[in-house]
Structures are given as structure tokens and as C-alpha cells.
Amino acid sequence: MTVSSVVSGGDAQQGVAAGPTALEVRGLAKTFGDKTVLHHFDLTVEAGQVHMLLGQNGSGKSTLIKILAGFHQPDVARSFTVGGRSVSAGSAEQVRAAGLRFVHQELGLIGPETVLDNMLYSDGFPTRFGQISSGRARKRVMASLELVGLDIDPASKVDTLSPAQRTGVAVARALMDTGDAAVALVLDEPTATLPGAEVERLHAILRVAVSRGVGVLYVTHHLDEVEQLGDVVSVLRDGHLVAAGPVVDLPRDVIVHALVGGELEAVQNQARPVTAPDEADPVLQVRELVGDRVDGLSFDAAPGEILGLYGLTGSGREAALGMIFGSIPRASGTVRVDATPVMPNRPRASMEAGVSYVPADRKSAGLFLELTAQENLTLSNLRPFWRRGRIDRRAERAEVDSWFKRLAIRPADGAGQTVGTFSGGNQQKVVMAKWLRLNPDVLLLDEPTQGVDVGAKAELHRQLLASRADGTAIVVSSSDVDELVTLCDRVLIIRDGRVHRELVGDDITDHNINRGFLEASTSTNG
Amino acid sequence: MRFNLGLDKYSGLYLGALFIIVFSFLAPQSFPTMSTVHLLTSTQAIAGLAALALLVPMVAGQFDLSIGATANLAGMVTVMVQVDAGLQPLTAVALGVLVGAAVGFVNGFVVVRLHVSSFIATLGMSSILAALQVIVTGNVEPLPVDSELFANLTQHTIFGFQMVVVYLVIVALVLWWVLEKTPAGRFLHASGANPEAARLTGINVDRWSWIALTTSGAISGFAGVLFVSLTGPSLSFGASLLLPAFAAVFLGSTQLQPGRANVWGTFVAIFVLAIGVQGLQLTTGEQWVAGMFNGVALLVAVALAASRERVGSRKGAQGTPADEAMAEAVT
């Protein structure tokens, strides 16, 4: 299974300045107790290249990054080279001093403070007689911002920046004081929470840094990015390096196969109608919704259809579903389920009317990380287990186990574990099960597969298609165009807080969604 | 599975056992006696009730710093309505509990309706209650209640244990049932674990916070009533209840069900702390032992809870960030 004659970035590359190797790891392995997380493998990141690292949750890539960052000691090879120099593993200071830098998914920026302050918190402010020397501080920060081609005022507050700019600031901060030395930069899922257009902007920032000779190791779940940005790609599965090579030599289906080990069946909405369904009895009717950035949003959803919502940041798309469910206040407008009006700002009332809502951010809004998976899953309705003055745990466990089986949640016997210990994909499956078990008439989902691996994503999509077959009206709000193309019967492009375009059946393509979105963006992007 | 001593869950029980062995050795005449057991259980019953009172809002993610002041005021009211107004003991007891519940209700109002953090709201409330107590009593300690019935409420003994211990056990049992066996308990835990997620699950977080604070007030009031029945009126006993209660709830959240504030963990913690204090007092005879011991115990307990969360998050595949866990330990 293991490809052992692995990554050979050196001889495979196309005309990038041949500097020293940015990062080289040989014979790395890691075992926790009796569980081997990383099997003996090599990895090379050349200077001036982007090396994409793919792997599902639990594939060992987080462990790899933690070893590189100095959090864990590897088993055998106790050193790796950065820019040609040997660094002993397990020391965060040494790693940093050698020029290996990290941008984690959590950027660690303090929103209300300035770019300048944020960039100097960890490095220390240049001082004279104990007072911050603002001139020198500004110069250092500007040099680093320039390195990634970011043209922003260091005195501006981080909160005022776009998401891509924020990630750019984190990159610039990571590259502080590296001078002209070849350095390696590790980015851990930098685009997991970025909307579509912002991803492109971040890539532009990274290309600038790469053109200056930085070697980038880029961890992602998005296969699109591999083609857009990568020079070399490596795929981890179950701790083995299962595929590696130049991006041009590895077509997408080969990568997908390597990622999931051939267990993935293509999920595609087969039963997609060619025309709009006759709107005889829509189960969900949204009329003239106003509030936040939503301004006069109206649409219907019929039983047994999957309706997609797409729109750029600030279009009102993000708030739409929360407003329908009642978790975000609305100024005016009506929501009807089965022709009965649903009260605003009352999640409980919406649930009783048959509406389920999977929020976008599972960690802050979807889950109770320190409660068990079982408690998380059944919290949406405890009534079936309430017997003779107590919760019947056995009945509860039985239902939870059946959901674990149905959604292939791992660990399969993990119902009693705190859900915070689950991988991202499995956490999302728990959230999904929590809402599916209510047997909703209307299922609203915000970014249902954000930060989820390919296998879990396919499983979640399968569940949605199954639910659709049962006659549920499903509304998916997503920034993932592929997802909308895969799932939806209709897609609404949102602009200025209302429906701008409607795509039906075969018109739902990557191209059309992006076009609708670009049309939308020309006049609103200001 | 390997044999597991359960140090992560039962460290408090081991610590308690260690205290008993050490102090029995150091003070063989006075410590390992039945009278120590009875003394400990009856004096700690009030502290235990205060800890259980605090436990409820802590589960729901709210502080209650006013439990001591509430208990004190409720106790004073119970005494004065009997001495000055000649009310029947049981009516007076009910009134005392009601005063506590009313205080908790007002706390809930300030937290939920006025959006004041519970830490500040109950801190302010405890100062207000202290002032109210001065107004009500004129800062003069009232005469003890001359009623056998009132005294027997707590001092009557069963199997050598004073009645007050029975109340503690009953309250603990009821709370355990509510918090661990009923939907209400799930909703309280969920509200404390992640208010936003709870809200999106259709749980009325505000209402549960309010209920939790009111319950806390009522149990505190009951504790105060029992105190004056057991040892007579005092103007300042409330202050001494607060810190041990916090220490017990935090230490308790590292016991039996680590990472979760729970009834029996709190129960174990209050007695382990009491055994430590009692033993040290018997062996050293120093006055400052209780304060020092409880303060150190509180810090150690919170540090333990925080480090457990950190280790837990490192083990987990995509666990919670450590800083989140730290924040969790202090809320």
C-alpha cells in the first residue's frame, strides 16, 4: 500500500529557481502507545514551491504538523532539515529559529487591535529606553507585509480586513525577520472557513511569497486548490504516504482514490428534475424577509427538493437560514411551514413546526464539546426516553447507536465519549444525526461540510439525498460550488439580500454558479 | 483493559483516605473517634448544602457569589420572625427558604433581563444583602429562638447523626436525580457547556439560568435556616460558607465524572476538605488552618481541572483548543 519511493520534488520540478531544499524529512515515524499514527516516510518541500498535503481527518497529517512544529518527538528520525540545516525535533524554538514557520487554522489574531500590534506580539516590539520605537516597528512590519505583497496600512485594525487579508497578515507575521534566507511555511487548512472569492485572493498572496523563494507545505481538504496552487502533492491515509508526485502527474481521480482508499462511491443527485418543480404546495414559504444583511428575501421550497443558496460574503446568504429558523432576529417578513406562520426568534417554535437547522460553525454553535456524543445527539428531543421519572439511558443509547451505524460515525462505540475528541467529519455527522432524528419537514443547513474530509462529505451528502427521497424539503446554504452542483435541484444566487438568479436542473453548473455570482459581485463589491 | 487505580476519577477518595491515616497516626486520641465523625458531618452539612446550592448555577454556567450572604440573611429572618413576631417555627423556616429563593430570583432577573454577568450581579447582590441584614437586625445579634421544635429540626439525632446530615443527603439525592436523570438536568448542562449551541437546539437558556439561580438562592436560604437552628443566630456565618463551596464544586468537577460539575464529586470534595481542615486543626491547634487550607484547595482544584482539560484536548483528534478549555475551567 505504501508508496515508499516517494516524493522527489527535486527532479520533478518545472523551472522554479533551484535554491536549497526548504524542508526535508527522512524516515519519520510516530507511535502513540501501541498505535502507529505515522508510518516511516519521507517528505521534501523545495524552495519556491507549493507542496499540497492531503489526508482525511485521522490520516496523521495533524500529527505530522505537530512534529514539525516541535510539539511531538518522532520515534526514529529525531531531526529534519530546514533550508539545508539540521534541526532536532521537539524544540519549537529551534524550529522557528531555523526558519520553519506556521500558520494555523486558528490565526490567533486579535480583531480589535492593529495589524502592527498583532504582528509584533509574539516577536516583541523594538524598543528604545523601554519605549516602543514606532518607526522601527513600522519598518519591520512593512517589510514583512511587502514580502507577501499585502498593501495595507499597519495601523488599520484587523477587524476591518477581509478574511483573505487576515490570513495574509498571519502569513506575513509568520515570515517576520526571515530576511532573504530560504524558509519553509506550513499552512494548516487556511481556506477551511474562507468564502470562494477570498480563497483566490489568498492564493495570490501566497504566490507572491513563493516567488520570493519560500517553500510552502499546504494542508487542505479542497481538491480544487491542489490544481490551482500546488506544484507537488502528497496524500496521507492511515499514517501512510499513499501517493506523491508533481500535481500535473496526478489527476484528480487518482488523488481521490488515494485519499479514501477506493471506498468512496460517487455521490450525485441523479433524480434532478430538468425544470422547476410545480410550486403547488411548497412546505416552506419565505416572504420578504428583512434583517441583518437580508433585504426582501423570498423563496419557496417543496417537499423532496434540495434547494441551494449561494452568494458572496455580505450578500446576506450567511444570515438567511438562521433568520428563517429564528436564531437570528428578523425585522420583518414571514416564514410559513405548511402554510402555518412560524414565529420569529423562537428556535423551539420552529423545531415544533418541523424545521431542523444545522448551523455553520459546529464548534461554537453546533456542539457541546465537553458533553458526550450521546448527550449531544439526543438533546434535540429527549421525550422518547423520558420514562417513569427518569431518562432511560438504555433506550437512548440504542437510538444513538443506530444513528452511529447509519452515518458510519467513528469511533463506532464512541457514544459515551466527549464529542470534542471526535474528528471534524465525525463531529459534523453527530450534528447531522441530532437534527435528522427529528424527522424534519424542512431541513436547513449552513455550510454542512465545511472543514470535513472527503469521505465524511460523501456520507453527509448521501444522507441528504436519502432525506430528500423521504420528502424532506432541504435548503443548503454553501460557499462550496461543487457541493451545490452535486446536490441541488435548484440554486438561488443571493445578492443584496435577495434572490438575484435562479438556476434549475442542468443549468446548475460550476460555470453558471460562478457567473451568477460574478454578475452579482460586479455591482456590490465596493 | 489494564488495571486502573482510577487516580483520574477517585483521587479525592484516595486523598481522604490518606488524610484519615495520617491524622489518625498524628492524633490517635482525638482524631479517629466517632465524635470526630459526628462533629465533621454535622458541621459540614451546612457547608455541603452551600456547595450544592452553588453547584446548580455552576452547571448552567453561572456564578453565584451571593450564596453566603443569602444564607445569612435567610437565617436572620427566620430567627427574627420567631423571636419578634412570634411566628411558628415551620412557617419561619418556609419564610427563610422563600427569602433565599426571592434573592435568587432577583439575581436571575439581573443576569437574564439586565444582561449583567452573573459574577458581577451576585457580587453586587452579596453586598446589598449584607447591608439589608444590617437594616433588618440593626447590627445587633438577635436572641436565640426559644423553641424545642426549631432546635430539633437539626439537632435531633438519628443513629448518632444529627438531622442536618439527613437534609444534606436528601438535597443531594434530589439534585443528583434532577441533574443526571431528567431532561431538566440535560438542559442545564447544555446551557452551561455552550449557551449558543443550546439556544440553537431550542433550549431556553435564559430561563434555565434564571431557574438555576433561583434554586441556588432557595438552597442557600435553607442552609442558612439550618445553621441558625443548629448553632444559633450569628451575623457573620455566611461569609465563611462561600469559599469552601467554590473549592468543593471545582474539586468535585475533577472527581467521579471528571470535567463535569457533579453532585457526588462535590459531596466527596466537601468531606475530603473538611477532614483535612479538621485533622490539621487537631494536630496544630492553629486558627488560620481552615482559611489557608480551603484557599489552597480552591487554587489546586481549578489548576487540576484546567490541566485535565489541556491533556484531554491534546489527546483528542481535533480537540478543543487549550485556551478554550482554560476559559471553561474558570467559568
In this structure, is the dihedral angle defined by the CA atoms of residues A72, A76, A82 and A85, taken in order, positive or negative?
Answer: positive
Residue of chain B whose alpha carbon sits nearest to that of A328? B200
State the cell numbers at A501: 438568479
Q: What is the CATH number of the domain that holds A478?
A: 3.40.50.300
Domains of chain B: 7-330 (1.10.3470)
A51 in any annotated domain = yes
pLDDT, tens digit, 9 for 90 and up, residues A56-93: 776 888 888 888 888 888 887 777 888 888 888 888 88
A150 in any annotated domain = no
Q: Is the pLDDT of residue B153 over 80?
A: yes
Whether residue B203 lies within 8 A of chain A, CB to CB, comes out as yes
Last residue of a domain, one of A417, A439, A461: A439
State the cell numbers at A256: 481521490
> Is the same domain home to A305 and A198?
no
Whether residue A412 lies within 8 A of chain B, CB to CB, comes out as no
DSSP-H helix ranges across B138-262: 148-155, 163-181, 183-193, 195-200, 205-231, 239-252
Q: Is the pLDDT of residue A16 over 90?
A: no
pLDDT of residue A269: 63
Inter-chain contact B196–A347, Cβ cutoff 8 Å?
Answer: no
Contacts of residue A382, Cβ cutoff 8 Å, sequence gap at least 6: A391, B183, B186
A27 in any annotated domain = yes
pLDDT, tens digit, 9 for 90 and up, residues A332-373: 999 999 999 999 999 999 999 999 999 988 888 999 998 999
pLDDT of residue A189: 85
- Average pLDDT (A431-459) is 92
pLDDT of residue A179: 61
What whole-number percentage of chain A has pLDDT above 70? 88
pLDDT, tens digit, 9 for 90 and up, residues B88-138: 999 999 999 999 999 999 999 999 999 999 999 999 999 999 999 999 999
> Is the same domain home to A325 and A191?
no
Residue A399 near residue A384, CB atoms below 8 Å: yes
pLDDT of residue A278: 55
A138 in any annotated domain = no
Whether residue B328 lies within 8 A of chain A, CB to CB, comes out as yes
pLDDT of residue A15: 39
> Is the same domain home to A165 and A307?
no
Distance from chain centroid for Cα B269: 10
Q: Which of A24-33, A405-414, B15-24 has the lowest mean pLDDT?
A: A24-33
pLDDT of residue A96: 84
A291 in any annotated domain = yes
pLDDT of residue A519: 55
Taking alpha carbons only, the member of A384, A412, A407, A404 closest to residue A396 is A384
How many domains does chain A divide into? 3
Q: Is the pLDDT of residue B320 over 70?
A: no
Mean pLDDT score of chain A, rounded to an integer?
84
pLDDT of residue A353: 94
Residues A494, A499, A502: CA angle, nearest 5 degrees: 95
Name the more confident of A168 and A256.
A168
- Average pLDDT (A285-291) is 93
pLDDT band at A35 (very low <50, low <70, confident <90, very high): confident
pLDDT band at A182 (very low <50, low <70, confident <90, very high): low
Name the more confident of A462 and A221.
A462
pLDDT, tens digit, 9 for 90 and up, residues A124-163: 788 888 888 888 888 889 888 888 888 889 999 998 888 8
pLDDT of residue A262: 56
Q: pTM higher than 0.95 for the full model? A: no
Contacts of residue B315, Cβ cutoff 8 Å, sequence gap at least 6: A421
> Is the same domain home to A309 and A252?
no
- Average pLDDT (B23-41) is 85
pLDDT of residue A270: 61
> Is the same domain home to A24 and A95?
yes
A43 in any annotated domain = yes
> Is the same domain home to A434 and A451?
no
State the cell numbers at B50: 452551600
- For residues B139 and B80, give the distance between their C-alpha atoms in angstroms, rounded to a whole number: 13
CA of B47, closest CA in chain A: separation in Å?
28
* Count of Cβ atoms closer than 10 Å to residue B113 Cβ: 10
> Is the same domain home to A322 and A306?
yes
Residue B224 near residue B238, CB atoms below 8 Å: yes
Q: Which residues of A380-395 are buried (b: 16+ CB within 10 A; e: fewer)?
A: bbbeebbeeeebeeee
* Count of Cβ atoms closer than 10 Å to residue B103 Cβ: 31
Helix/strand/coil for B318: coil
Whether residue A479 lies within 8 A of chain B, CB to CB, comes out as no
- For residues A173 and A167, give the distance between their C-alpha atoms in angstroms, rounded to a whole number: 10
- For residues A424 and A57, give the distance between their C-alpha atoms in angstroms, rounded to a whole number: 7
pLDDT of residue B106: 98
Taking alpha carbons only, the member of A159, A65, A70, A78 closest to residue A112 is A159
pLDDT of residue B58: 96
pLDDT of residue B166: 93
Inter-chain contact B201–A434, Cβ cutoff 8 Å?
Answer: yes
- Average pLDDT (B210-219) is 98
pLDDT band at A302 (very low <50, low <70, confident <90, very high): very high
Which of B200, B308, B326 is best to mutate for the A interface (most A CBs within 10 A)? B200
Whether residue B202 lies within 8 A of chain A, CB to CB, comes out as yes
pLDDT of residue B17: 87
A14 in any annotated domain = no
> Is the same domain home to A168 and A30?
yes
Inter-chain contact B193–A351, Cβ cutoff 8 Å?
Answer: no
Q: Is the pLDDT of residue A38 over 60?
A: yes
A1 in any annotated domain = no
Inter-chain contact A391–B181, Cβ cutoff 8 Å?
Answer: yes
Inter-chain contact A62–B199, Cβ cutoff 8 Å?
Answer: no
Last residue of a domain, one of A439, A469, A492: A439
Last residue of a domain, one of A439, A467, A493: A439
- For residues A224 and A230, give the distance between their C-alpha atoms in angstroms, rounded to a whole number: 10
> Is the same domain home to A291 and A174?
no
pLDDT band at B330 (very low <50, low <70, confident <90, very high): very low
- For residues A399 and A433, give the distance between their C-alpha atoms in angstroms, rounded to a whole number: 11
pLDDT band at B322 (very low <50, low <70, confident <90, very high): very low
pLDDT of residue A11: 39
Inter-chain contact B202–A420, Cβ cutoff 8 Å?
Answer: no
> Is the same domain home to A175 and A45?
yes
- For residues A243 and B116, give the distance between their C-alpha atoms in angstroms, rounded to a whole number: 56
> Is the same domain home to A198 and A288?
no
Q: Which of A359, A370, A386 sits opposite B328 (nearest CB)?
A: A370
Which of B318, B320, B326, B331 is best to mutate for the A interface (most A CBs within 10 A)? B318
Mean pLDDT score of chain B, rounded to an integer?
88
Domain, as residue range, for A470: 282-354+441-526
> Is the same domain home to A372 and A398?
yes
Q: Which residues of A277-316 are buried (b: 16+ CB within 10 A; e: fewer)?
A: beeeebbbbbeebbbbbbeebebbbbbbbbbbbbbbbbbb
Highest mean pLDDT among A25-39, A162-176, A335-349, B7-21: A335-349
Query: How far apart, in Å, do the first and last CA atoms of chain A sit?
Result: 51
Name the more confident of A241 and B210.
B210
Helix/strand/coil for A229: helix
Taking alpha carbons only, the member of B185, B164, B167 closest to residue B55 is B185
